Structure 1
Amino acid sequence: MILKRAMAAQIIEELKKQNKKVVFTNGCFDILHVGHLTYLNEAKKQGDILVVGVNSDASVKRLKGESRPINSEIDRAEMLCGLKAVDYTVIFEEDTPCELLDDLKPSIHVKGGDYTKDDLPETKIVEKNGGEVRILGFVEGKSTTNIVNKIQG
């Protein structure tokens, strides 16, 4: 289910009161591929509920260039909602999920293995709100950029 930010914050607060571990991750998820699937399944294993922050179209364009995204923010969020591991999605406008994390206050924030905890701007915000940052493995060679490059030949 795609949630607005305020509703997501309320739901997460309620779930945490029920002693549920809420896991958050984020990304563009422009063309879903096996790397995304593997990563999201691993993220879900870190807790009870998985919330995925989805970069808005404007944010993806700033991060990835004028030719992206390929799929709209609503389509990307809906596709993620169709995955077994994903409980909720939230679309956000900023280039990083820092403000969203400050609003949502998840129990655990996960990122892929191409990041380190110390380099993440999110780490301070998550820990300030009593959460934990975990770095998961990276699925080598699987990326939307590689798929787009292959299509363009």
Structure 2
Amino acid sequence: MTESKILTREQAIQRADQWRAEGQQIVFTNGCFDIVHLGHIDYLEKARHLGDRLILGLNTDASVSCVKGPLRPVVDEYARARLMAAFEFVDAVVLFGEPTPIELIEVIRPDVLVKGNDYTVATIVGADFVLGRGGRVETVALVPGYSTTKLIDRIKQSY
């Protein structure tokens, strides 16, 4: 069941078009989601409530390494994709290897683009595209004190 929610880019485009034809609002967010924690769960759950379907763009391993450094990710892309797909509030997971998700955003054409409130609309990749199509860009409050980097630091200090 969870594997069926992990889609190729082409499958994600078709699924988004189908949901849109059914009158459903497509929400898109993206991230690395390495070592899943409460902050991730809370964020994704909030994002899902901003529309009818949530499509998650997930950085590939190579992309995570470029963004977070050579020691990341801790969890490989297949495992991260399965974990994300297991959440009931995530409707589809699509891997992307580009430096940013702009290409994925442009082909999926979400109605709502979501990031955490550590971003502003001006700094969210794809915001201009979504707003230009009449969509919305939203930020959601993050749970204070939760981050993968902080978890890794805590683990390193413990051992």
Q: Which residue of 2 aligns with 1:125?
A: 129
From 22, 27, 30, the equivalent of 1:23 is 27
Distance in 2, matches of 1:107 and 1:113, equals: 19
1:42 aligns with 2:42: no
Distance in 1, matches of 2:50 and 2:22, equals: 17
Distance in 2, matches of 1:113 and 1:139, equals: 10
The amino acid that maps onto 2:36 is: L
* Contact 2:34/2:80, CA 8 A, preserved across alignment: yes
The amino acid that maps onto 2:153 is: N
Q: How does 1:86-97 map to 2 (within 5 A)?
A: 86-97=90-101
TM-score, normalization: structure 2? 0.93
The amino acid that maps onto 1:152 is: K
TM-score, normalization: structure 1? 0.96
* Contact 2:101/2:125, CA 8 A, preserved across alignment: no
From 60, 79, 85, the equivalent of 2:83 is 79
Q: Which residue of 2 aligns with 1:135?
A: 139
1:58 aligns with 2:74: no
The number of equivalent residue pairs is 153
Runs of 4+ in 1 over 6 A off after TM superposition: none
Deviation digits for residues 89-126 of structure 1, max 9, x if unmatched?
A: 00000121111100110111100010000122311122
Distance in 2, matches of 1:113 and 1:132, equals: 15
1:4 aligns with 2:8: yes
Identity value in percent = 41
Q: Which residue of 2 aligns with 1:106?
A: 110
Q: Does the residue aligned with 1:42 lie in a helix, a strand or coil? A: helix
Q: Does the residue aligned with 1:16 lie in a helix, a strand or coil? A: helix
* Alignment RMSD: 0.9
Q: CA deviation at 1:148?
A: 0.6
